[in-house]
Amino acid sequence: MEKEILEKYKKAGEIAKEVMEYAEKLIIKQLCLNVFELAEKIEAKILELGGKPAFPVNISINEIAAHYTPCKGDNIVIKENDYVKVDIGVHVDGYIADTAKTFRIAGKDELIKCSEEMLKQALKIIYPGIEVKEIGRVVSEVAESYGFRVVTNLTGHGLERYNLHAGITIPNIPSGSGILEKGKAYAIEPFCTTGQGAVKDSNRAVIFMLISEKPVRMPEARKIIEIAKSYKGLPFAKRWLEKEFNPIKLEIALNQLVNLGVLHPFYILKEVSNGNVAQAEHTVIVDEKPIITTT
């Protein structure tokens, strides 16, 4: 990896780490418990520190595993025993740091400890050429030792410039094919749960990504495409558009663009048996001595 690119990955990681510490302070010290305000503060902090969001901050609570970011009017308040998964993405010139942590005002319990230990043990065995199924084996064994299950249909993933899910996936079970390559960046992302160990799509999406351009008649839909192009293939939030559009027309335009295959919707993911879910994640650049950019 070229030195200039490596420095951008490292800078993104430094910003992500600082923003996660800021988020932890806001939640644990109960300085900001409204999830809409929390999301806005986290993303503003990313910009303040010189980065840009690589995706809308995910604030997924309890049985919601991923892809939840608040919209205007989502006045959910974090409660003492909630499992609050904060998933933060930062990019510097397109080079991404992806990190996540689970918080609980009442204190860290075994489920959260399990997620952190899964990540810790996975990072210990990272080296060029390791098979992804070996990472999954280690992760799943930690979950079993704690008496929990991994979420089998959520995975880690490769990272490339302006590409959040590039190349191979990194399962949380001992399956799949592929190896980690020297000089490439990956998000190692284990999830554990008190439930059955799988997630399903809800019927609601609040995060989208431009995947193709097609002619559309609705002016609002055309404007959304132009805005989406500015993110260069990275996901964006419905919340980011709400200040510029009439809410009814925004909803119609987003639905039209999804139905036409212009936008990919990231549906909110929920554990199939409503089990609580905890997540931990770091970004690592594979080398003989791996570089974990988000610690």
Catalytic pick among 98, 116, 117, 220: 98
281 is catalytic: yes
Q: How far apart are CA 157 and CA 167, in angstroms?
A: 7
Number of Cβ within 10 Å of residue 147's Cβ equals 11
Per the listing, tokens 């990540």 go with 119
Residues near 177 by beta carbon (within 8 Å), at least 6 away in sequence = 131, 132, 133
Q: Are 19 and 97 in contact (CB under 8 A)?
A: no
2 is catalytic: no
Catalytic pick among 14, 63, 82, 87: 87
Give 32-85 as a DSSP string.
Answer: --BHHHHHHHHHHHHHHTT-EEEEEEEEEETTEEE-----TT---B--TT--EE
Q: How far apart are CA 138 and CA 118, in angstroms?
A: 8
CA-CA distances (angstroms) from residue 74 to 35, 62, 69, 87, 295? 7, 16, 9, 18, 31
98 is catalytic: yes
157 is catalytic: yes
Catalytic pick among 37, 93, 165, 287: 165
Q: How far apart are CA 205 and CA 163, in angstroms?
A: 20
Catalytic pick among 63, 82, 117, 189: 189
Catalytic pick among 63, 220, 271, 281: 281
87 is catalytic: yes
Catalytic pick among 82, 157, 220, 271: 157
Q: Which of 144, 145, 146, 123 is nearest to 135 (CA)?
A: 123
Per the listing, tokens 């212009």 go with 262
189 is catalytic: yes
Indicate which residues carry an active-site annotation: 87, 98, 157, 165, 189, 281
